[in-house]
Each structure stands twice: as C-alpha cells, then as structure tokens.
C-alpha cells in the first residue's frame, strides 16, 4: 500500500467520524440508531450523542490498549519485575486534569441543549396533552386552532394484535386521530395526566416528558419537515401501556389551516343538543359506537361480560332499571368506572344501546334524563 492511499483511507475515516459529530449528515435510519432528528433540538441531541459515543470509544480503546499492552509486555514469564513506587504527583495531576477537561467538553454543549429544550417561551401554538389509561387527549389551547379538542386512540385492529391477520408496517404505532401541527412553528406542549403517570415521547423531535396527574409540565418542538412522526407512551402505566401510541402529522401552513377549518365544522356538527329528543334509531347507532369505544373491553362485544369479573349486560337488572343505570354510569361502582366524562348524548345512546341489544328490550333513555341526573 502506498503512503498516499493510506492517507486517503485515514482521511475518509476521519471525515466520516467528523460528519458523525455533525449529526444529521449521518442520520441513517437503523434499528440501532436514534430516530433521524427532525427539529433543531433533536439535531443537537443527535450530535451530542455521537460526540459522547466517540469520546467514550476513544477512551475505551486508549485505556484498554495501554492495559493489555502493559499486561502482555511486562508479563512474569519475560522476567518482569514489579515496580514498587508509591504515589506519583505527576500521574495524579494528569489523571485529574484530563478527565476534568473531557467533562467540560461534554458538559458545556449538553447544558446549552438542555437549556434550549426547556425554553417554551414565545410559542406559536400551545397544546395540552392529557394522558389517560390508555389514550391521549389533545386540547389546542392557544394559537391557530384554539378550541379544538379530541382523543387519540390506538387504531391497530384487534385481529392483528391476536395474530389472526398479518401485522402492518405501523403496527401499534397508528391512531384514529393524530395530532396535527404546522411545520416550522414553535409548538408548546403542556402535559398532564388524569389517572397515573404517562410520558409523551416522540423520538424524531427529541421530546420525552412525563405526564403526571395534578401537575403541568411543558416542553416544545418546532418540526423542520412535513411528515408523519410516531412515538409511544414511555412510562409504564398499566396493562395497555403498549397500546397508547402517539402520531404527529406535521403539515404545511395551508394544510393546517384547512385541517383547522374541517375540525371546526366537525366539532360544530358533533356538539349535540342534549335538549333535543333523539329517535330510537339514532340513539342505537350512536350507542353502538360509544359501546365499542368504551365498554366492550370489559363487558365484551357480546354483552356477556366475563363471568366472575365483568357482569353480563345481557339480562342485567341494572340495565333494565333506568334510574339505577343512569346513576351507575354517572358514578361508577367498584371496578366499574364513572362515565361522567362522556356527554349526555353519548351516555343516553350507550344506555339505550345496552337496553336494546343481546335480547334486552327495555326502552330508550333520552339525553335530557342524564342532564337532569347530573345535578
Ligand atoms: C374497566 C372495565 C369496565 C368498563 C370499561 C365498563 N364497565 Fe361496566 N362494569 C364493570 C364492573 C367491574 C361492573 C360491576 C360493578 C360492581 O357492581 O361491582 C360493571 C357493571 C356494569 C353495569 C351493571 C351490571 C349489573 O347487572 O350489575 C352496567 C349496566 C355497566 N357496567 C355498563 C357499562 C357501560 C354502559 C360501559 C361503557 C360506557 C361500561 N359498563 C364500561 C366494569 C366495566
Ligand atoms: Cu401511558
């Protein structure tokens, strides 16, 4: 090998390492690597990670090379005689000063990034994220889209989870209502939770923050690229911890304005009037959806429940007795949660649905009855 080509190789390797420190340039997608960074802060986190890894690798190689070389070179069979000096001020100064310098080199840029991560001032958009067992609630508090509010739940079909169907590429990372945000806008995320501690984690934005009941934490991101980014709850929060993914759609300013307009229309249509008298067919259709989304995990799609754990609603005396049913749905009982978070229309619909399914036939409940019972 000529000296020139050896030089070329060394230069190529060095360039690769340096661009690794540069971050995004080498942001290869690999199951072993961090997610490709999509915000400025995420880029910094990515570069920091590469830099620290490089420093650790160099230290590792240097320390172990010296160690193994010494063991080999000064082995007993070669007649090595152990030195017997104690204390060497020079060595001690060196091994204090060098690590101190290394720590400074690592801590200074890391501190800058952490401070930048915490600076949630001057956001264009403020969104409150609430963790629930086991879904996310999004409320647009300030900025374009203010007032929009929805729940975001796992959309992966049960058949895939139970291995009855092939799993999709976004298996367990897909939701019914993704969070939608505009590109290049500073989004402040305020986090809290309604039951246990959850954590909102989107790797591409380098955002990971605990959502704690009774506390409000905040964090921010400004996405550089349009696209769909996925994350998960990152705090073990109960049996369906693995089933509350996060999907963020980053869209252009125009698409965002369009989405806001659509959501507004949808919300206006959904803002049911609880005073209105609903027809049996409307209540049943709406009730089937409410039941599917909220009740069937325990009481089963068949209404038969799980003997010994969840009572059957088919043939239930409580379902047949309207006042008792209303009170139970609003207040809960033992392991049966309170559903007062649902609207009067949703409650009346699901009550009517359970009263008229699986062989039950016990009449309708109107939203006005729930409205009256809430007082
Ligand atoms: C987390 C599991 C769970 C979910 C979800 C759930 N329930 Fe229940 N439900 C229970 C348990 C447990 C009981 C028994 C409570 C007790 O009396 O100890 C119960 C009891 C009931 C009863 C009384 C049955 C009887 O005959 O005693 C009704 C009616 C009922 N649930 C309706 C609903 C409806 C409607 C929904 C959806 C809005 C729902 N439940 C969601 C667990 C659940
Ligand atoms: Cu969670």
Provide DSSP, 103-118. Answer: HHHHHHHHHHHHHHHH
Quote the pLDDT of residue 243.
94
Average pLDDT of 207-221? Answer: 94
Please give the torsion angle defined by the CA atoms of residues 128, 129, 132 and 136, in that order, rounded to the nearest 10 degrees.
130
Whether 314 lines ligand 1, by a CB cut-off of 6 Å, is no
**Class assignment of domain 125-157+171-267?**
mainly beta
Average pLDDT of 249-255? Answer: 95
Burial of 313 (0-12, 13-18, 19+ CB in 10 A): buried
Nearest to 343 by CA among 318, 313, 375, 368: 368
Give the domain ranges of the chain.
3-73+88-118, 125-157+171-267, 280-373
Quote the pLDDT of residue 3.
43
Q: Kindly state the tokens that stand for 224.
A: 């550089």
As a whole number of angstroms, the distance between CA 259 and CA 263 comes to 6
User: Terminal CA-to-CA distance of the chain, rounded, Å?
Assistant: 89
Please give the torsion angle defined by the CA atoms of residues 343, 344, 346 and 349, in that order, rounded to the nearest 10 degrees.
180
Is-same-fold flag (125-157+171-267; 280-373)? no
Q: How far is the CA of 188 from the centre of ligand 2 (A)?
A: 20
Q: What would the pLDDT profile of 33-68 be if each residue is shown by its tens digit?
A: 888 899 999 999 999 999 999 999 999 999 999 999
Other C-beta atoms closer than 10 Å to the C-beta of 7 total 10
Whether 133 lines ligand 1, by a CB cut-off of 6 Å, is no
Other C-beta atoms closer than 10 Å to the C-beta of 10 total 10
Whether 316 lines ligand 1, by a CB cut-off of 6 Å, is yes
As a whole number of angstroms, the distance between CA 122 and CA 263 comes to 25
User: Is 180 in contact with 259 (CB distance < 8 Å)?
Assistant: yes
As a whole number of angstroms, the distance between CA 44 and CA 98 comes to 25
Cα-trace Rg, the chain = 30
Examine the pLDDT at 273 and tell me if it is beyond 50.
yes
Whether 362 lines ligand 1, by a CB cut-off of 6 Å, is no
Q: Whose CA is nearest to atom 5 of ligand 1?
A: 295
Q: How sure is the predictor about 25, in pLDDT bands with cuts at 50, 70 and 90?
A: very low
Whether 361 lines ligand 1, by a CB cut-off of 6 Å, is no
Whether 299 lines ligand 1, by a CB cut-off of 6 Å, is yes
The H-assigned helical ranges of the chain are 3-22, 40-73, 89-118, 158-161, 253-270, 280-294, 296-299, 317-320, 322-331, 344-355, 367-373
Average pLDDT of 297-309? Answer: 90
Quote the pLDDT of residue 17.
53
Q: How far is the CA of 156 from the centre of ligand 1 (A)?
A: 25
Q: How far is the CA of 307 from the centre of ligand 2 (A)?
A: 28
Examine the pLDDT at 2 and tell me if it is beyond 80.
no
Q: How far is the CA of 138 from the centre of ligand 2 (A)?
A: 14
Other C-beta atoms closer than 10 Å to the C-beta of 82 total 6
Q: What would the pLDDT profile of 138-195 be if each residue is shown by its tens digit?
A: 999 999 988 899 999 999 888 898 999 899 899 999 999 999 999 999 999 999 999 9
Q: Kindly state the tokens that stand for 209.
A: 């923050």
State which fold the 280-373 domain adopts. Cytochrome Bc1 Complex; Chain D, domain 2 (1.10.760)
Share of the chain above pLDDT 90, in %: 61
Examine the pLDDT at 14 and tell me if it is beyond 70.
no
Q: How sure is the predictor about 198, in pLDDT bands with cuts at 50, 70 and 90?
A: very high
């Amino acid at each position: 090998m000529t000296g020139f080509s050896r030089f070329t190789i060394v230069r190529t390797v060095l360039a690769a390492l340096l661009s690794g420190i540069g971050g995004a340039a080498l942001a290869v997608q690999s199951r072993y690597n961090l997610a490709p960074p999509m915000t400025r802060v995420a880029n910094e986190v990515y570069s920091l990670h590469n830099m620290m890894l490089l420093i650790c690798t160099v230290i590792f190689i240097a320390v172990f090379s010296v160690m193994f070389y010494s063991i080999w070179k000064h082995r007993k069979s070669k007649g090595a005689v152990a030195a017997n000096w104690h204390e060497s001020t020079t060595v001690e100064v060196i091994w204090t000063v060098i690590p101190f310098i290394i720590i400074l080199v690592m801590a200074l840029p890391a501190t800058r990034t952490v401070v930048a991560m915490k600076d949630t001032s001057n956001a264009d958009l403020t969104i409150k994220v609430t963790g629930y067992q086991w879904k996310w609630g999004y409320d647009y508090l300030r900025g374009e889209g203010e007032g929009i509010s929805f729940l975001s739940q796992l959309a992966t079909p049960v058949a895939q989870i139970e291995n009855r169907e092939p799993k999709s590429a976004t298996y367990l990372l897909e939701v019914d209502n993704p969070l939608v945000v505009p590109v290049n806008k500073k989004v402040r995320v305020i986090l809290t939770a309604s039951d246990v501690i959850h954590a909102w984690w989107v790797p591409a934005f380098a955002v990971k923050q605990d959502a704690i009941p009774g506390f409000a934490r905040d964090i921010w991101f400004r996405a550089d690229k349009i696209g769909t980014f996925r994350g998960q709850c990152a705090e073990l929060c109960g049996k369906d911890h693995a089933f509350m993914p996060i999907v963020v759609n980053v869209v252009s300013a125009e698409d965002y304005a369009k989405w806001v307009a659509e959501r507004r229309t949808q919300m206006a249509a959904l803002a049911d009037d609880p005073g209105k008298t609903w027809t049996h067919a409307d209540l049943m259709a709406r009730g089937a959806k409410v039941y599917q989304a909220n009740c069937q995990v325990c009481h089963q799609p068949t209404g038969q429940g799980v003997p010994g754990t969840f009572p059957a609603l088919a043939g239930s005396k409580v379902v047949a007795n309207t006042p008792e049913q209303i009170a139970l749905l609003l207040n809960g009982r033992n392991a049966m949660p309170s559903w007062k978070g649902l609207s009067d229309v949703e409650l009346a619909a699901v009550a009517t649905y359970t009263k008229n399914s699986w062989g039950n036939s016990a009449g309708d409940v109107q939203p006005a009855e729930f409205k009256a019972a809430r007082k």
